[in-house]
Amino acid sequence: MTRRSSDDRFFRLATGAVAALVLLIVIGIGFELTRQSTMSIRKFGFSFWTGTTWDPVSGDFGARPFIWGTLYSSVLALLLAAPVALGIAIYISELSPRMLRQPLAYLTELLAAIPSIVYGLWGVFVLVPIIRKLELATPDFLKKIPLFKGPPLGVGMLAAAVILAIMVVPFTSSVAREILKNVPSAQREAAYALGATRWEAIKVAVGYGKSGIIGAIMLGFGRALGETMAVTMVIGNNPQVSASLYAPQYTMSAVIANEFTEAADELYLHALIEIGLLLFIITIGVNMISRLLIWSMKARANRKAISMPMLADEAVPA
Amino acid sequence: MKKLIVLLVVALFAMTAAAQNVQINGAGATFPFPIYSKWFSEYNKLHPNALINYQSIGSGGGIRQLSAGTVFFGATDGPMTNEQITAAGFRILHLPTVLGGVVPVYNIPDVNAELRFTGKTLADIFLGRITKWNDAAIKATNPNVNLPNLDITVAHRSDGSGTSYIWCDYLSKVSPDYRKTVGVATAVNWPVGVGGKGNEGVAGLVKQTPGSIGYVELIYAIQNKISYGSVQNAVGEFIRASTETVSNAAAVAAKQMPKDFRVSITNAPGKNVYPISSFTWLLVQQSPSDRTRSAIMKDFVKWALTTGQKFAPELGYAPLPAEVVALELQALNTVK
């Protein structure tokens, strides 16, 4: 009996230590990033967030174009990827013949296993020429809208967003599929019992797993924020704040990957590490916001359906 | 299983015995990596005890690691600044090993002729002042070419690189405006254009974008059979880059070589000289505490500067002219 309880205690301590390690690593990363960017933090302060110049020669650094590029490309990727991913998830879990389910799920997950450099190469050689053709074919009236301004280079925001979207789809769709699978069949049966069509029953299932699906989408967003290699190969790497989909732009992770090796100057190095710190903060921020979003949705759902205490909870990924 | 353990133990002992070999670690520029790895392997064949290990992590990284004492020697495409040398806290010798050139590459539909550029034209294109291929400045040096009314797209390196350093160094020498607005560094604030990662990134952008112009290392252009333009040198000739015309630039520079070899040889005056040429340097400690390693390093450098030079042209590098080698061997004698 004593032996078992000491085993228990040991087990709890060991797993607790591992869990604490995760927390320590996160704090350690934050601390180290701050420590190694002190020069740039002292010199530029908050203007580092808002400055638009990135000039290693004169030592003038501002991160706004990179922050903009990262957020803009990720949001665009999300807008492209979310409907597709959700469509895949719904088809696989609700509509496809049983025989097709496993192969389809496997194929979408295979997309996630492709290294990003391969996506980048594919982007450079296949996607960019296609996008250039699209850009060349832009009708004149569209060119007046800021979204479609600029020369048809092929490389630029649009190419980056499309690549990112493709890379994000497998993550979002596989989590969304799991969530739909976990919707109790009582939900669907109830819908059918009330005379719902198949489409309406699916709507009920999706509505039931709503908070989990939002979580799946945010997971994809987090992935898009940090993606480096494929993006830098197609985005054009020009630090500018532009709403145009055709304009070459830049992202935070891309500038670190590109310039870190040759940065010999102290302030330059600190500025690059501060970009890393900003990316760290933004990623944490996005994750927190998505958590809050999910919590508030769950809370609302629970309030609405007190008679069903298990509602929503089951459908949220751990 | 037991046998396996015994075997492992024996192997381990064998390894410790082999550890009597001296291993020297270095890190730095990516541009000379192919010739350096060739040299290290050839040198190792001659001296099986000397293992020189080189990581091509970039010039900046090489300087940082040498200064921090994590590697025994460094390598760079742009000479260290005075501040960097002071920060290192010990004496570092710059030794040119080979030369490289940077060439303008372009893609103009239906134009197959080799274009001629003046330095000022290139600077104005990269400043975004010349925006069309049929601009008067480009036409002036290419009267026989039918240049189209096409927008110019500038392609440059997005990663920090010695190639960009040499390119900007040259453009800054021929254009005061370029010096003022862009300047010289491995990564700069480009006024116009799109960035590609690595030589292959720039070459890819140029290949795919009609109307584009970029710059790549001469070796890269030769190895990938990319056609490139000629550039006007300081005495007014239009010179096409080759290992020979790049070596000539160094021969000119040898006449006024500063003692520490930290010299830019872009836009060097003289006939048949390609103007966008540069040394790449090994960074060697002047008097390290580890004399055994230093002796091997000295011997290696001596070999690389003399016998080793013959490997340069086949890898696309321009060999050092004899005058420069003579000066360097003298300097090498001061290393302890």
Q: CA A115, CA B171: separation in Å to the nearest integer? A: 38
Domains along chain A with CATH numbers: 65-265 (1.10.3720.10)
| Closest Cβ–Cβ partner in B60, B87, B190 for A262 | B60
Residue with tokens 């190469």: A121
Contacts of A262 in chain B (CB under 8 A): 58-61, 159-162, 186-187
A246, B153 Cβ separation under 8 angstroms: no
Range list of H helices, B232-284: 243-254
B59 contacts chain A (CB < 8 A): yes
DSSP assignment of B178-222? HHHHT-SSSS---SS-EEESHHHHHHHHHHHSTTEEEEEEHHHHH
Neighboring chain A residues of B84 at a CB cutoff of 8 Å? 264
Q: What pLDDT is recorded for position A311?
A: 45
* β-bridge mates for residue B106, sequence order: B213
pLDDT value at residue B5: 64
CA distance B234 to chain A (A): 26
Name the residue facing A263 among B60, B193, B196 (closest C-beta): B60
Does A2 reach chain B within 8 Å, measured CB to CB?
no
Is residue B186 within 8 angstroms of chain A, CB to CB? yes
Residue contact B159–A54, C-beta within 8 A? no
Nearest to B37 by CA among B52, B17, B58, B22: B52
Partner residues linked to B283 by β-bridges: B74, B94
Phi, psi of A21 (to 5 degrees): -60, -40
Q: Answer whether B261's CB lies under 8 Å from B277's CB.
A: no
Q: Which residues contact A49 (CB under 8 A, 6 or more apart)?
A: A62, A63, A64, A67, A278
Residues in chain A with CB shorter than 8 Å from the CB of B182 are: 57
3 state SS of A61: strand
Closest CA to A251 of A191, A173, A161, A170: A161
pLDDT in tens, chain B (336 residues): 566 566 565 555 555 544 568 899 999 988 899 999 999 999 999 999 999 999 988 888 889 899 999 999 999 988 888 888 888 889 999 999 999 999 999 999 988 889 999 999 999 999 999 999 999 999 999 999 999 999 999 999 998 888 999 999 999 999 999 999 999 988 899 999 999 988 888 998 998 889 999 999 998 888 888 889 999 999 999 999 999 999 999 998 888 889 899 999 999 999 999 999 999 999 999 988 888 899 999 999 999 999 999 999 888 899 999 989 999 999 999 888
pLDDT computed for residue B13 by the predictor = 53
**What is the pLDDT, as a whole number, of residue B60?**
82
Question: HSE of B44 in the Cβ direction (CA atoms, 13 Å)?
Answer: 14
Q: How far is CA B325 from the centre of its chain?
A: 18
Going through B29-184 in order, the beta strands assigned E by DSSP cover: 50-55, 73-76, 92-107, 116-117, 153-157
Radius of gyration of chain B (CA): 22
Q: Give the closest residue to A180 by CA, choosing from A156, A201, A153.
A: A201
Q: Chain A closest CA to B268's CA: distance in Å?
A: 24
Q: Judge whether B267 and B234 are in contact, CB under 8 Å.
A: yes
User: Which residues, other chains included, contact B32 with Cβ-Cβ below 8 Å and sequence gap of 6+?
Assistant: B75, B77, B97, B98, B100, B280, B317
B206/B155 Cα distance (integer angstroms): 7
B160 closest CB neighbour out of A153, A238, A263: A263
Judged by CB atoms closer than 8 Å, whether chains meet at A259 and B159 is answered as yes
- The distance from CA A82 to its chain's CA centroid, rounded to whole angstroms, is 11
Q: 188-227 in B: which are within 8 Å (CB) of A?
A: 188-190, 193-197, 201, 204-205, 208-209
Query: Helix (H) and strand (E) counts for chain B?
Result: 13, 11
**Of A54, A154, A237, Cβ closest to residue B189:** A54
Considering only the beta carbons, identify the residue of B162, B187, B205 that sits closest to A155: B205
Concatenate the DSSP letters of all residues of B281-307 into one string.
Answer: EEEEESS-S-HHHHHHHHHHHHHHHTG
Identity of the amino acid at A47: S
Q: Tell me, what's the pLDDT at B169?
A: 94
Q: How far apart are CA A266 and CA A270, in angstroms?
A: 6
- Pull the structure tokens for residue A144: 């007046």
By Cβ distance, the residue of A151, A236, A264 closest to B195 is A236
**CB-based contacts of A165: which residues, under 8 Å, 6+ apart?**
A76, A77, A78, A80, A81, A84
Nearest CA in chain A to B82: A265
Question: What are the residues facing B73 on neighbouring strands?
Answer: B26, B284
What pLDDT is recorded for position B198? Answer: 86
Give the C-alpha separation, A211 to A301, whole Å.
9
Q: How far apart (Å, rounded) are the C-alpha atoms in residues A169 and A166?
A: 5
CA A35/CA A270 separation, integer angstroms? 9
Strand B73-76 and strand B22-28: the pairing is parallel
- Residue B321: DSSP 8-state: P
Tokens for A147? 């979204």
**What domains does chain B contain, in order, with CATH numbers?**
21-100+279-332 (3.40.190.10), 101-255 (3.40.190.10)
Please list every residue in chain B whose beta carbon sits closer than 8 Å to the beta carbon of residue A236: 194-195
Q: Which two tokens stand for residue A1?
A: 């009996």
- The structure's pTM equals 0.84
Of the candidates A268, A237, A241, the one whose C-alpha atom is nearest the C-alpha of residue A255 is: A237
Predicted local confidence at residue A266, as pLDDT: 85
Q: Are B189 and A55 a contacting pair at CB < 8 A?
A: yes
Distance in angstroms (rounded) separating the CA atoms of residues B199 and B159:
10
Residues of chain A neighbouring B57 (CB-CB closer than 8 A) = 261
Cβ-defined contact of A57 to B59 (cutoff 8 Å): no
List, as ranges, residues 89-148 from B with C-beta within 8 Å of A: none
Whether B151 sits inside 8 A of A151 (CB atoms) is yes
Q: What are the φ and ψ backbone dihedral angles of B24, each rounded to 5 degrees?
A: -120, 130
Determine which helix (DSSP H) or strand (DSSP E) holds A243, and give its type and residue range: none
Q: How many CB atoms neighbour CB B91 within 10 A?
A: 15
Contact B193 A153 (CB under 8 A): no
Mean pLDDT, each 10-residue run in order, chain A (318 residues)? 75 92 94 94 93 91 95 95 94 89 89 91 92 89 86 91 94 91 88 90 89 88 90 93 93 93 85 95 89 81 58 46
Residue in chain B closest to A248 (alpha carbons) equals: B194
For residue A2, the model assigns a pLDDT of: 59
Burial class (CB in 10 A: 0-12, 13-18, 19+), B163: buried
Nearest CA in chain A to B161: A262
Encoded amino acid at B230, one letter: S
| 3-class DSSP assignment, residue A55 | strand
What is the reported pLDDT for B87?
87
The CA distance from A292 to A301, in Å, is: 14
If residue A52 lies in a helix (H) or strand (E), which one and from where to where? none
Dist. CA B308–CA B96, nearest whole Å: 13
Mean pLDDT of chain B, nearest integer: 90
Q: Among A244, A249, A262, which would you mutate to test the B interface (most chain B Cβ atoms within 10 Å of its Cβ)?
A: A262
Phi, psi of A216 (to 5 degrees): -60, -40
What is the Cα Rg of chain A in Å? Answer: 23
Q: Give dist(CA A213, CA B177) in Å, integer.
A: 55
Q: Are A275 and A44 in contact (CB under 8 A)?
A: no
